Amino acid sequence: MHQSPLLFEEPVNGRNRRVAGGIATSDVVLTAHVGGNAEVFPELLNLHVPKGATVADVTWGKGVFWQKIPAGRYNVLATDLKTGIDCRNLPYGDGSVDCVVLDPPYMEGLFRKSTHHMAGGGSHAAFRENYSDGKARSGGPKWHAAVTDLYFNAGQEAHRVLRGEGVLIVKCQDEVSANRQWLTHVEIINKYASYGFYCKDLFVVVRTNRPVIARLKKQVHGRKNHSYFLVFIKTSKKRLLTGVASSSPALGRVVPKGKMDPPQTEVPLAKKREPTKR
Ligand SMILES: C[S@@+](CC[C@H](N)C(=O)[O-])C[C@H]1O[C@@H](n2cnc3c(N)ncnc32)[C@H](O)[C@@H]1O
């Protein structure tokens, strides 16, 4: 793929120093993509997650993200609420995984007290099936707050299981809910900063087909046809708050091949159910 060591600044004597050199090329990973998750995900994984890393995909769904990733490239731990593991309560020890992938339901219509009121009914059943566990929710926050609540709690849990400078990849989409614009990706970035996550990268995914709107009376907001992959690095809150994030060699560092902590072949399990190994 596009990964080139020239894209990264390696620490020189413990500091990042900008040096002239390199090659002229357009063969680089771009931030905006028209296409599907299965095409985009390998590119950002290739850029940010070293081969051999232990990656916990905690909202596995149908594993679409992994469709184009060669088997054996990563040590993948696949879990989902559908398989009995909640991403807010993972069966891994503290600091035990290199990367977490999080892609929970991103729209409030998938968090309803009754399945009759959930998004994706009737002819849109496949949507519900692909984007949620299809179950009604009771208690807890409502509407858009239900969406962010899950992202926030899952982010905290990801922070617990990630090793220092581990990578958290989050898929999300903004939404208009109750006639209000909610920039979910901004809410997530701000909240995760308070946990000690530095947002190192952001990718925009633009869908290839045009969305169709049933029962449009008057358009008020732009119809969303894009979503995001956010890439976070686990760091200490202190370093983030003191503004070291942009200059620290550790934070922006891509660990050279073979130099990272050895991949975990055995992850300490705290719960009975085991993730599926791929
Ligand atoms: C958007 S889909 C994920 C699609 C997946 N990334 C793929 O490539 O196929 C959202 C998934 O989150 C799961 N989910 C919802 N709530 C969850 C929770 N609390 N813990 C774990 N998984 C959850 C749903 O069952 C659903 O499979």
Q: Per residue in 122-146, pLDDT tens?
A: 555 554 465 556 665 566 788 899 9
d(CA 126, CA 130): 6
Q: What is the pLDDT of residue 247?
A: 37
d(CA 133, CA 66): 19
Lowest mean pLDDT among 96-110, 163-177, 241-255: 241-255
Lowest mean pLDDT among 86-90, 150-154, 269-273: 269-273
* Single pTM value for the model: 0.77
Beta bridge partners of 230: 170, 202
The finding on whether 86 has its CB within 6 A of some atom of ligand 1 is: yes
Index of the ligand 1 atom closest to the CA of residue 61: 27
The finding on whether 107 has its CB within 6 A of some atom of ligand 1 is: no
Residue 165: partners with Cβ closer than 8 Å, 6 or more residues away:
233, 234, 235, 250, 251, 253, 255
Nearest CA to 195 out of 167, 153, 228 is that of 153
Residue 164: partners with Cβ closer than 8 Å, 6 or more residues away:
95, 234, 235
* Rounded mean pLDDT, 38-58: 97
* Rounded mean pLDDT, 249-272: 40
Lowest mean pLDDT among 65-74, 102-111, 214-223: 102-111
d(CA 205, CA 253): 24
Alpha helices in the chain (DSSP H): 37-48, 125-131, 143-161, 184-195, 237-241, 249-252
* Rounded mean pLDDT, 74-86: 97
Give the DSSP letter string of 178-215: TTEEE-HHHHHHHHHHHHTEEEEEEEEEE-SSPP--TT
The finding on whether 152 has its CB within 6 A of some atom of ligand 1 is: no
Nearest CA to 58 out of 83, 40, 93 is that of 83
The finding on whether 81 has its CB within 6 A of some atom of ligand 1 is: yes
On the question of pLDDT at 2 being above 50, the answer is: no
Mean pLDDT of the chain: 80
d(CA 158, CA 89): 9
d(CA 106, CA 266): 31
Please count the CA atoms within 13 angstroms of the CA of 250 that sit on its side-chain side: 10
Residue 259 vs residue 164, higher pLDDT:
164
d(CA 3, CA 5): 7
d(CA 194, CA 236): 10
Give the DSSP letter string of 133-154: ------SS--HHHHHHHHHHHH
| Tokens read off for 45 | 């994984």
Share of the chain above pLDDT 70, in %: 67
Nearest CA to 161 out of 252, 72, 271, 84 is that of 271
User: Residue 83 has what DSSP assignment?
Assistant: G
Query: Residue 241: which pLDDT band, with cuts at 50, 70 and 90?
Result: low
In the reported structure, the alpha carbon of residue 133 is separated from the centroid of ligand 1 by a whole-number distance in angstroms of 7
Index of the ligand 1 atom closest to the CA of residue 150: 19
In the reported structure, the alpha carbon of residue 225 is separated from the centroid of ligand 1 by a whole-number distance in angstroms of 20
| Dihedral pair phi/psi, residue 228, rounded to 5° | -130, 150
The finding on whether 63 has its CB within 6 A of some atom of ligand 1 is: yes
The finding on whether 62 has its CB within 6 A of some atom of ligand 1 is: yes
In the reported structure, the alpha carbon of residue 234 is separated from the centroid of ligand 1 by a whole-number distance in angstroms of 22
